[in-house]
Structure 1
Amino acid sequence: MDQTSFNLHAKAWQCIEDFESAREPELVREARKLALRNDVPQCTASQGSLLSSLVHMQHAESIIVVGTSPVVETAQLVEALDNHGKVTVVDSTADGIRILREFIAEAADETHTIMRAANADPSRFLQRLTPDDYDLIVVCGNTSNYEQTLAHAASLLHHGGAIVFTDALAFARRGNKGGLTNAADRSEQAVTMRNIIEQLQDDDRFTSSLNPAGTGLLIAVKR
Structure 2
Amino acid sequence: MNAAAKNSPRTGSLPASLAYAEAFVAESEPSRVARRKASGLGLASISGGVAAALTLLTKTLSAKAVVEIGTGTGVSGLALFAGMVADGVLTSIDSESENQAAAREAFSEAAVPSRRIRLIAGQALNVLPKLSDGAYDVVFVNGDPLEYVEYVAQAERLLRPGGLLLLHHALWEGKVADEQNSDDEPLIVREALEAVQDSGLFTAALLPVGDGLLVAVRD
Report TM bin, short chain: 0.7 to 0.9
| Alignment match, 1:132 | 134
| 1:69, distance to aligned residue in structure 2 (A) | 2.3
| Alignment match, 1:202 | 198
| 1:15, distance to aligned residue in structure 2 (A) | 1.1
Specify every segment of 5 or more residues in structure 1 that has no aligned partner in the other structure, as ranges: 172-177
Specify every segment of 5 or more residues in structure 2 that has no aligned partner in the other structure, as ranges: none
- Please tell me whether Structure 1 or Structure 2 has the larger radius of gyration of its CA atoms: 2
Whether 1:191 and 2:194 are equivalent positions in the alignment is no
| Alignment match, 1:14 | 19
Match of 1:166 among 154, 157, 168: 168
TM-score scaled by length of structure 1:
0.86
C-alpha distance in structure 1 between counterparts of 2:106 and 2:209, whole Å: 29
| Alignment match, 2:146 | 144
Q: Secondary structure at the match of 2:165?
A: strand
Give the direction of change, closer, same or farther, for the CA distance of 1:68–1:102 in structure 2 (3 Å limit).
closer
| 1:103, distance to aligned residue in structure 2 (A) | 2.2
| Alignment match, 1:174 | none
| 1:142, distance to aligned residue in structure 2 (A) | 2.0
| Alignment match, 2:103 | 103
| Alignment match, 1:122 | 124
| Alignment match, 1:213 | 209
The count of aligned residue pairs is 211
Moved more, 126-135 or 144-153: 144-153
TM-score scaled by length of structure 2:
0.87
Is residue 35–residue 73 contact of structure 2 (8 Å, CA) maintained in 1?
no
C-alpha distance in structure 2 between counterparts of 1:5 and 1:183, whole Å: 26
Q: Secondary structure at the match of 1:19?
A: coil
C-alpha distance in structure 1 between counterparts of 2:159 and 2:73, whole Å: 21
Is residue 90–residue 122 contact of structure 1 (8 Å, CA) maintained in 2?
yes
C-alpha distance in structure 1 between counterparts of 2:198 and 2:162, whole Å: 18
C-alpha distance in structure 2 between counterparts of 1:53 and 1:73, whole Å: 13
| 1:203, distance to aligned residue in structure 2 (A) | 1.3
Is residue 31–residue 75 contact of structure 1 (8 Å, CA) maintained in 2?
no
Whether 1:49 and 2:52 are equivalent positions in the alignment is yes
| Alignment match, 1:30 | 33
C-alpha distance in structure 1 between counterparts of 2:157 and 2:122, whole Å: 19
Percent of residue pairs identical: 24
Is residue 136–residue 161 contact of structure 1 (8 Å, CA) maintained in 2?
yes
- Per-residue CA distance 1:69-117 (angstroms, 9 max, x = gap): 252111211222264311111112x3xx212223214523612261122
Is residue 34–residue 103 contact of structure 1 (8 Å, CA) maintained in 2?
no
Q: How does 1:39-118 map to 2 (within 5 A)?
A: 39-67=42-70, 69=72, 71-81=74-84, 83-92=86-95, 94=96, 97-108=97-108, 110-112=111-113, 114-118=116-120
Over the residues paired in the alignment, what is the CA RMSD in angstroms? 2.1
